[in-house]
Every structure is written in C-alpha cells, then in structure tokens.
Homo-oligomer: A and B are copies of this chain.
Amino acid sequence: MRRSLWVLALLLAAGGPALAQETPDPAVVAKIEDQAFNHSQVMNIAFYLTDVSGPRLTNSPGYFRAANWVKNTLTDWGLSNATLEPWGDFGSGWELDKSYLALKAPYYQPIMAYPKAWTASTKGLVSGAVVLVDAKDSLALLNYKGKLKGKIVVFPNDDTLAEPFKADAMRYVDTDLAKMQEPLPERRRGNPDSARMAQFRLRGAFARQQAAFLKDEGALMVLSGNTRGKDGTLFVQSWGGNAQNLPAGLTDMVIPIEDLHRIIRLVKAGIPVELEGEVKSHFTDNKGDKQGYDVVGEIPGTDPQLKDQLVMLGGHLDSWHSSTGATDNAAGSAVMLEAVRILKTLDLHPRRTIRIVLWSGEEQGLFGSRGYVKNHFADPTTMDLKPEQPKVSAYYNLDNGSGRVRGVYLQGNEAVRPIFASWLTPFASLDASTLTIRNTGSTDHVSFDAVGIPAFQFIQDPLEYDTRTHHSTADSYDHLSAEDLKQAAAIVATFVYQTAVRDQELPRKPLPEARPAGARPF
C-alpha cells in the first residue's frame, strides 16, 4: 500500500527525464526496506558497540574493542579492506579502575559521582572537608592560599533544576520542520580574534590556572555538577580538549546537581561537610602508539568507469565514558553499519565504491575525520587538493541520537535539493520529507564540507538526546529506539545506493577558501 502510493506519486509528479533518472527503483527500495525492517541487525550491532564494548573514549581499550569488532564484522559480512586506519597523533586514552564517592559528615550517604575523563587518581581512599572556592580571577584565588591542603573543593553553583513540566523526549512536528526550512543568514566563519573567542580563551586559561593552583595547594579533588544532570543523570566530559592539554594530577568528579547544592547549602550554613572518595584510573595507549584510529571498510564498485569513485558514509564510533555512548553515537554507527550490511547482503552491484568510515576523536574536536580528510583529500589550511578529493561523490553522516530520519540538511548545497527530494519520495510515509538549505555543524560531515566535498547530516527526531542522553550517564542501550534506527538504516542505505548508481557525481558547492592555520576549524 505504502509503496504503490509513492510510485503513483512519482509517476504523477515526474516532470522529465532528469527527475526520472533520480527516481529510486521501487524494487530496490522494497528489498532495502525488507532487510531494514524484517531482518534488522541494528539493535544487535548496537549491543556489541555499547554493552559488550563498554565506554569508547578515544584510544581507550573500550574504543579498540568496538573498533576491532567493527573491523571483524565488516570482514565477516564480506566487505573489502576492513582495517583500523591511523589518522594522526591523538595522545593517550584513559580508563577507570575504581570510582567511589560518599558524604561522610554530617552523615554517611553514597554520592553517585563520575570522574571526568583523563582525571587523576587519588592516593587510595581519601577523605577531607569541603571548601567552597569562589574566585573569579587569580587575585581572588590568593585568598585560598594555605587553606586547601587535604580539602575537597567545590565551586559556588546556584543553577535551578531543569523544567520538570516538559517531557524529556520529543519528535518534530510539522511546524518545527517548516521552521527548519527557513534559511538562516550564513553563519560567520569563526574569527580567532573575535571578542567571544578571546573571552572563551580567557575563561579556559583561568580554569587551567585555577586547577594548577588547587593542585599546588594540595587539594584532594574537585567536584562539579551541572543543571542538565538532575534526577541522577550526570553529564560528564573532561577538563576540555584531550589528554594532552590537561593539567595532570587533579581528581575531578561530576556529582548530581542536587548533591552539589546540598553540600553548598550545608557549608554556607556553617555545618562542616566531609567526603570520602577513591578514584583509580590510568592513561592507556596502544603499545606506545598514540595515534588515533578510524575504522574503514568498502563495498567495491562494479562499474569499470566509476569504481574508483567513492560514496562515503560514517559517524563517530568514540564516545564519552560515563555510559556506553548509545545515542552518541553507537546509534549513528549502528545505522551506518546496518546500511552497508543491507547493501552488501542484497548484492546490488553499486557502480561506485561504497566506503564506510567510523571516526575516533570526534568528541575532542572531530579529530578522526579531520585527520582522515587531510590525509586523503585536502588540508583545509592550504586547499591543495589530493587526487582522491574530486572522486568523492558524497559523504553521509549520522550523529544526532537515536531518532528516526526526518530529512536532510542540504548544508548550503541548493543543487542537490531536487535529487534528494526524489530520493526521499519513498519515505514520505515514514515521515522523512524535509529538506533544509541550512547547515548543521558539530560533527564529522563538516570536515568534508570544509574541503569542498558534498557532505550531509540527516535531520533526526531529537527524542531524549538534548535533555537526557547526550554525554550523560543515561546514554545506554535502553535509551535507543529500535524502530527509529530501522527507519534510518533504510533511508541511509537508499541514499548511499542512489549516490553509487547515479550517472554523475552529486553537484558541488564552490570550493571554499583556504582557512588560516590558527583558526578554529569549524
């Protein structure tokens, strides 16, 4: 029923041969949908990426468990050239061996805390009184000189809890999608000397200075919280950046905002607060190798004229560490893997080569995709193109949680609109029909976009991504939506297939200008 309707719609709408060429073959779409919905492996894939692999912090053992599972699985499925490919120097990974925190006075109560990534170990089980450190600058810090030895440091925080009258999860409704289609003024390229950047740098510099001061003064640990993390959900990242730019030696844990507020209220009321805690962690690397690795695999093209051209798809495989990175981004990784499994299983003889790459170092700055793009296609600071750059017809990315696909961000590429509109036609009944000219950022497609390769991120229903799971202790398998992931796999597989069999490569935007080496890249 659903299929016959869209075929009819296509027949009625078909304006000419150009559009007709873009029309997905209903028989192929039917096979893809049958695989995606009736023979789905997407939750099984997600199980291995999350529950079995564990947290996938870049260069941690969990990341390599997942990456090797992906490599072996791609090989088992019959893909070619499955490998872990180094993209450049990342630095050490990091892994927890022990984490414990509790209130000890005025009474005992365990605190559901989680250490930030790359945080230092304590010297075994330690305990100390809490001191509130309220300093806006290095001068104010001097007030605490000599007062922090053996203490546990908390910063003032009077955030209110996030709104409980609003549901955590949402799906886009028509008005959201319509609003999304209004073009925005193009975002100004980041200017490294702008006031905002300067302020950002100052804040970062003071945070590092403060951390060094606290360490020098002999503080035992620092506790922090944030408002998004209510009800027991913690949002946990690192000090910022990756291991290399962290001051070593200060233990830094995230605690529930409610506990942080409790501690602050007690201290302010003059009631001594004592905590005990233990963090044991170690930096990890791959036998001294501090390179970061992406995972690659291919379905070779079958058209002698086109098989050296590429259709690429991917998402980042690495995660933050306080859960198993289910919606960020086992979801996207599993969908991309499921899409290539479907295409390989169906043996559809793509004309171009299909290459999947799952990235690492995304959470610390899109490092894995930036390194890969620089190695294969172009350095965005020079824009000298390598021979492979013109051969990539498109890169497709998925990294907005577990929600079904509602459409595509065209990333400013108006010429692809009619093509994608045709490709989405079979999926209107699955609620995926929105195309917006807007850019979306913050994930790996921008590494490709920056060197002139057509690169797209899909629009996905947010579900709980922005409220509960993104970088949090709640980002686990149970927060995945199987039906949403199946729909996404069907659509991605179709887009990749269409790109692989199209006569021409996808139209490109004008090549961007080279960007200053010191600029924040995207």
Q: List the interface of chain A (C-beta within 8 A of B).
A: 47, 50-55, 61-62, 65, 95-100, 102, 106-110, 112, 114, 161, 164-171, 230-234, 256-259, 261-262, 265-266, 269, 271, 324, 463-464, 468, 473-474, 476-479
Query: CA A46 – CA B54 in complex, angstroms?
Result: 40
Query: CA A271 – CA B54 in complex, angstroms?
Result: 13
**Residue pair A473, B61 in contact (C-beta under 8 Å):** no
**How far apart are A405's CB and chain B's nearest CB, in angstroms?**
19
A271 cross-chain contacts in B, Cβ below 8 A: 52
A108 cross-chain contacts in B, Cβ below 8 A: 95-98
A112 cross-chain contacts in B, Cβ below 8 A: 112, 232, 473
Contact of A110 among B99, B468, B476 (CB under 8 A): B99
**Residue pair A258, B99 in contact (C-beta under 8 Å):** no
Contact of A478 among B110, B258, B476, B478 (CB under 8 A): B258
**Residue pair B107, A61 in contact (C-beta under 8 Å):** yes
How many of these chains are in the complex? 2
Query: CA A55 – CA B97 in complex, angstroms?
Result: 30
Query: CA A397 – CA B232 in complex, angstroms?
Result: 30
Given the interface pairs A161-B478, A165-B170, A477-B262, the reply to whether A55 lies near B109 with Cβ below 8 Å is: yes
A477 cross-chain contacts in B, Cβ below 8 A: 258, 261-262, 265
What would 29 A/B residue contacts be, using CB atoms closer than 8 Å? A47-B269, A51-B265, A51-B266, A52-B269, A54-B106, A55-B107, A65-B107, A96-B109, A96-B110, A99-B102, A112-B112, A112-B473, A164-B167, A164-B464, A165-B169, A165-B170, A165-B171, A166-B167, A168-B168, A230-B474, A232-B232, A232-B234, A232-B256, A232-B473, A232-B474, A258-B477, A258-B479, A261-B477, A262-B477
**Shortest Cβ distance from A324 into B: residue:** B262
A169 cross-chain contacts in B, Cβ below 8 A: 164-165
**Residue pair A479, B114 in contact (C-beta under 8 Å):** no
A230 cross-chain contacts in B, Cβ below 8 A: 474, 478
12 additional A-B pairs beyond A112-B232, A231-B474, beta carbons within 8 Å, are A50-B262, A51-B265, A52-B269, A52-B271, A61-B107, A100-B110, A164-B168, A164-B463, A165-B170, A230-B478, A232-B474, A257-B478
